[in-house]
Amino acid sequence: MRKNLRLTEIQLLIVPAMLPVIGMLMVILVPRQQVNWDAKDLWMTFVFFGLLIAAHLTLTFTLPRSDQMLLPLVSGLTAFGLIMSQRLETVRTGNIASRQVIWIGLSYLVFIGVVIGLRNVMRLKRYKYTFLVIGLALTGGAAVAGTEVNGARLWFNLGFFSFQPGELLKVCLVIFLAGYLDDKRDLLQAPFKIFGIPFPPLPYLLPMVAMWAISMGLLFFQKDLGPAQLFFGVFLIMLYVASGRAWYVLAGITAFGLASFLAYQEFNHVQTRIIAWTNPWPEGQDRAYQIVQALFGFAQGGVFGKGLGYGAPNSIPEVHTDYVFAAIGEEMGLAGTLGIIALYVLLIYRCFHIALQARNGFYQFLSIGLASLLGLQTFIIIGGVTKLIPLTGMTLPFISYGGSSLLVNFAIAGILIRISAESNPAGGDRS
């Protein structure tokens, strides 16, 4: 009986549960310049608390032996997202905090739904082509009929909110690739030569070309390297894991590099991004305004930050979505940013851990794909806002304000929990 109680998870959940109590009080009271507060100020915290309990109880009753670290890690990051959305709420952004609470609520529902509803993850494999078609159709539809946001036509405007099918496409593609690579795994050893030059076997070559084409299509429509980088990167990682050959990866990177170079020649948008990376300071009042403001924010933060609510992160445009990490850097300092990175690293490694424990090839590929999706996206966006690599517009998983990204990421967490449970039908508490 005791084995079914998920005590590790309960202990680990204490921190994400308490985090918003302090954080929300800070960000509400500091601008108010008062120390008086009432329970109404904490309603979002209570909602979040309830969601944590609901998710925990669901796992306890349905999948008691699933991974116990995933939910606390994901919840911790989400708690930061909740705090930051309250912090960064201004007249211009509208009531993003209450919206974010709604999105978090829906996301936990999706998580619970996946945990309860996805009885057999193998079923995903059976419908892999369906997922591929759905994902491509949505993205294609958005490219044709979607609304344009920041020059990128990858949004559906559904009235009260905009939905970004690109987020869904990520997961669809990973599911498809995991299924596909698992199917073709045994065929892949055959050498394939044209004029004596070894080529990847056709089952590798075809999706490689297809993925490259899709990524390039994205690049073209979004006029941005980010999603293309992410999709192609995840694909290369999965390909490498399936084949074990670094050679393919190098070839893929070269092809992608060439295309990127062409894009750089072709699109102003991309050139701007490159300038904002190599030499942003002279352009700090126009083209590179955003990144320069973010760098100021990081520099102001120092080691321990200005304190939640005491900084001025709102001088960075769009800080609540792409640049939320700069706001964290300003108000929580190096301690905060390294802490957040540590959370991501733990989360990603936990996903790899789940992959290594997984029962079959599809589960392995799927969890590796999902883990590298989270990992790469985090790296690309954080690397971008810290000026380590050229910036590309993307959300910071679990923290950035935004519904589509949050929903999809929680679905990913649900799938991973499910995989961890199925890999461990009789095992004990392994955490």
Question: Which residues in this chain contact other proteins in the complex, by CB under 8 A?
Answer: 30-31, 33-35, 237, 240-241, 244, 275, 278-279, 281-287, 292-293, 295-303, 309-312, 315, 329, 333-334, 337-338, 341, 344-345, 348-349, 352, 355-356, 364, 368, 372, 375-376, 379, 382-383, 386-388
CA distance 69 to 65: 12
> For other proteins, which is the closer residue by CB, 183 or 283?
283
- In whole angstroms, the minimum distance from the beta carbon of 367 to other proteins comes to 10
According to DSSP, the residues that pair with 147 across neighbouring strands are 155
- In whole angstroms, the minimum distance from the beta carbon of 88 to other proteins comes to 15
- In whole angstroms, how far apart are CA 41 and each of 86, 158, 268, 300, 413? 11, 30, 45, 28, 29
CA distance 24 to 401: 16
Q: Is 85 left (phi over 0), alpha (psi -120 to 50) or beta?
A: alpha
- In whole angstroms, the minimum distance from the beta carbon of 316 to other proteins comes to 10
- In whole angstroms, how far apart are CA 368 and each of 80, 353, 410? 25, 9, 16
CA distance 228 to 250: 16
CA dihedral 371, 377, 378, 382 (to 10 degrees): 160
Backbone angles phi and psi of 185, in degrees to 5? -55, -45
Say if residues 274 and 264 touch (Cβ distance below 8 Å): yes
- In whole angstroms, the minimum distance from the beta carbon of 26 to other proteins comes to 10
- In whole angstroms, the minimum distance from the beta carbon of 391 to other proteins comes to 13
> For other proteins, which is the closer residue by CB, 373 or 413?
373
Say if residues 208 and 252 touch (Cβ distance below 8 Å): yes
> For other proteins, which is the closer residue by CB, 110 or 326?
326
Within 8 A by CB and 6+ apart from 104, the residues are: 47, 48, 51, 78, 81, 82, 406
> For other proteins, which is the closer residue by CB, 110 or 412?
412
- In whole angstroms, the minimum distance from the beta carbon of 95 to other proteins comes to 21
- In whole angstroms, the minimum distance from the beta carbon of 356 to other proteins comes to 6
Per DSSP, the chain holds a count of helices (H) and strands (E) of 15, 5
Say if residues 146 and 155 touch (Cβ distance below 8 Å): yes
Say if residues 216 and 228 touch (Cβ distance below 8 Å): yes
> For other proteins, which is the closer residue by CB, 136 or 312?
312
CA distance 344 to 336: 12
Q: Is 34 left (phi over 0), alpha (psi -120 to 50) or beta?
A: beta
- In whole angstroms, the minimum distance from the beta carbon of 328 to other proteins comes to 11
> For other proteins, which is the closer residue by CB, 166 or 301?
301
- In whole angstroms, the minimum distance from the beta carbon of 46 to other proteins comes to 25
Token pair recorded at residue 283: 């352009």
- In whole angstroms, the minimum distance from the beta carbon of 310 to other proteins comes to 6
CA distance 431 to 426: 14
What is the Rg, in whole angstroms, of the alpha carbon atoms belonging to the chain?
Answer: 22
- In whole angstroms, the minimum distance from the beta carbon of 366 to other proteins comes to 13
CA dihedral 351, 356, 362, 367 (to 10 degrees): 10
